[in-house]
Each structure stands twice: as C-alpha cells, then as structure tokens.
Structure 1
Amino acid sequence: MNRPIRDCLLVEDIPATRIWLETALTTAFPSIAIESCGTIRAAQKLLDHRTAPFSIALVDLGLPDGSGLDLLRRLTLEMPETLTIVATIYDDDTHLFDAIMAGAQGYVLKDEDTDLIGSLLARIGHGEPPLSPSIARRVLAHFRASTVVSEPDEAGLTARETEVLTLIAKGMTVAETARLIALKPQTVASYVKTIYSKLNISTRSEATLEAVRRGLA
C-alpha cells in the first residue's frame, strides 16, 4: 500500500552530511518538506511545539549532545504514525538491534552513495522498510543463527515459535519482539502462550532456561 510522504524530521550534526541526506530525501520525494536539526536538544525543542506527526524521521545515532536512540523512543511513543529511520555509520549488531528496540523501522548506512540511499528511501512509499543491503544481510544472519536447533525439538515447537522463544529469552518484551519480526503484539502474545503450554512452563525465567537448554540463548 502506498503511503504519502509529506515531510521529514532530519537530525544530523555534520552540515555536509545533512545536505547530502537532504539531497537523497528530495531525490526520493521531490515535494517533501524537511525540518533539519543538528542536535538532540534542537530536535526535542522542535517536537515540543509540534502537534502533527512527521511522515518520516531520519535520525543519526551519534549526536554531539547524546544518542539518537532517545529521539527514536520519543517519536515511537508520541508519534507512532511517524516512520523512524536511522542514518548512521554504525553497522554492528549492538547499534542495529538497540535502534530496532528503540522503535527504528529502517536503518541505512551513510557510506552508501546518494542514489542508493534515495532508492532505499523511495521504497517507503510502497510500504517497504528501508535497509542498507549489508544491514538486511546482518538481520537475516542474526535470526538464521538464532533459530538453528541442532536436534529435533521434542516439545514440537514450530520454527516461528522457536524464533519467538529465542527473542523473549534475550529479554525482549512482546511489543519489541513483534516489532522486530513484523507481527502484531497480540499475535506474538498468542505464540508465547502456545510456547508456555508446549513447554509446560509459566514464567519468563523458565522460558529463558528452556532456550538455554536448546542452545538458543
């Protein structure tokens, strides 16, 4: 489903990079209105006086006055309609999954060329999450490794149930798990209920122990 992209909150402290990202945004969406900030403080002040949600927010993680994760959390809480995207130099698992858990729905690397970034962003209009190719491969590799089970599961867990067990054993909430694997929270909650029933357990700590026993955590 196409979604209209009218405006963007861009948070990037380096002027040349900010101009470069603005170019990528206007390449993807020629009529987009961009509100640019160089610090968390400036972005927070702008949000304090903003009533309507932005269509998208493009946020750097390493800002001079703090972490862009704080802005992601605020946007996710106060403007859930805003599609939040990270634009960063960090391509490691820690930054990637911290951003996803904070609410990021896209993750692009600033070492890509402008045309590729513009192409990735343009997919938003068609409901596709913008992910740099190396980031998409990293996400797939993470879950492929997380869901490998060396022996047949004696409790009869499905592949999806095993995936959910892995994530909740890592300490993720139902909402975070749902966001990460693109399911509704109530669907994940149903999976958790089924997992608990199949494993004959009733607490998260027991689920974690079962995940460890299966080599998932």
Structure 2
Amino acid sequence: MKYRIVIFDDNKNRRDSLRTLISMIDDMECVGEFEDCRQVLDKIDLSQPDLVLMDIDMPFVNGIEGVTLIRTKYPTLKIIMQTVFEDNDKVFSAICAGADGYILKQTAPNKLLDGMREVMEGGAPMSPVIAKKVLSLVKIQDRIFSKSDFELTKRELEILKYLAMGYSYKMIAEACFISYATVNTHISNIYTKLKVESVGGAVSIAINKGLIKID
C-alpha cells in the first residue's frame, strides 16, 4: 500500500523537489501538486489523498484557510503544515485550523519523511522549534482546568499534554508505560469528549480552554 500525497506550495522548485523526494519512496506517491488553495475541495476530491503537505504562506487562499476549508468536508484527512515562519500567531492559527503536524521547511528530507509516516500512524509530528512555540502558547494560557468541563480523566489530561508537546503515539506509550493500543483508546476518548476529530483540534481546545499546563 502506498500513501497518496498532495502538495500545496506556491514555490514550483519546492513542489518539484517534494515530488521527486516522494517518488523515491516505496510506500508513497504524489497524486497532486498545487500552487495555492483556490478550489481546494475540488482538488482534494479529484486527487483523493491520504496526506496533505500544506504550505502556510500562499497567495489568494493561504494554507490556514485551506485547512479550515478541508476540515468542513474531510475532518479526518491527515494534514501536515509546512512553514518557514516561527511566528506565534501563525502557529496558533494552524493549530486551531486542525492540522495534524507542523514541520519547518528547512527540516531534513529524512525527518520530513519520518514525520509523514508518523502522522499516518496517528502521531502529531512537530519540528522542535514549532513544539517550543506550542509550549509557549500553552504557558500563556495559565488558567485552572475544571474537570467537570469536559470530564477528562487524569490519564487523558496527561496524554493530551503529550499531544500538545508533539509526542507520537509510540512516544506517549513509552512515557506513560502503557501499550500503543491503550494510547489509541485514550485518544479516541479524548476526541469524543472534546468533540473533535484530529490532534490539531484537541490541541486547539487544550490551548483555548486552558485544559493543560506545562511546568
């Protein structure tokens, strides 16, 4: 089985480089590449990808707007945001839009491929600098969590915190000394309680509602 990848990036050289990289990998194929997010739903309908590589800064319709539109029809489609920016507002907007991972464009190709596989396995890859930005946003939201608001258990809050830190399911399992399947079950419960369908949505709620606090 090959993962079907679509690229949204206004830089043709970068689109060509990404397509070439993906074509060299046995378990991936590029099924579409576009310079912006105009008619984004039509493009997704046509290409039927498993994963979207989405640039943030594009003309006409940018990546954050594109993800928001995609989520109206494809709430579970995997999306990785790519950016050269380290701006808090853009990171926060990308999280709220519901992307599954956030990777800087200058990330090494092998790390990008690892991140793509990780997100397909249910993880939430982040470049270290992006993870730090997320943590700073969580620290800013220094409010007290009321357990009755969402009825999250102590373990679910712990796992939600790890998700916000960019941990993969495997990393969470190791940190919590539980099985991968148990992590999957907890995250499914988190999604149900928060009424979201993606890691990005869960982290967005966590940040906006002050559900977690990073020491």
User: TM > 0.5 between the two?
Assistant: yes
Rg comparison, structure with higher value:
1
1:111 to 106, 111, 130: 106
Q: Is the 8 A contact 1:108 1:131 kept in 2?
A: yes
SS of structure 2 residue aligned to 1:87: strand
2:75 to 80, 84, 93: 80
Counterpart check, 1:22 vs 2:19: yes
Normalised by the length of structure 1, the TM-score is 0.61
Amino acid at match of 2:12: P
Amino acid at match of 1:122: R
Change (3 A) 1:5 1:141: farther
Segments of structure 2 that go 5 or more residues without pairing to the other structure are 151-159, 165-186, 196-208, 211-215
1:58 to 50, 53, 61: 53
Q: Deviations over 1:70-93 (max 9, x none)?
A: 210121111123111111111211
Moved over 3 A (4+): 23-31, 42-45, 161-164, 180-186
Stretch deviating more after TM superposition (26-35 or 82-91): 26-35
1:39 to 15, 36, 39: 36
CA RMSD of aligned residues (A): 3.3
Deviation at 1:101, TM superposition (A): 0.9
Aligned partners of 2:191 and 2:123: how far apart in 1?
20
Deviation at 1:23, TM superposition (A): 4.0
Q: Deviations over 1:153-191 (max 9, x none)?
A: 7xxx56xx5998xxxxxxxxxxxx9xx8667355248xx
Q: Deviations over 1:1-39 (max 9, x none)?
A: xxx662122111111111222344446664323311112
Segments of structure 1 that go 5 or more residues without pairing to the other structure are 165-176, 190-207, 212-217
Change (3 A) 1:27 1:116: farther
Aligned partners of 2:28 and 2:194: how far apart in 1?
38
Change (3 A) 1:66 1:74: closer
Change (3 A) 1:33 1:138: same
Q: Is the 8 A contact 1:58 1:86 kept in 2?
A: yes
Amino acid at match of 2:5: C
Aligned residues: 163
Change (3 A) 1:5 1:90: farther
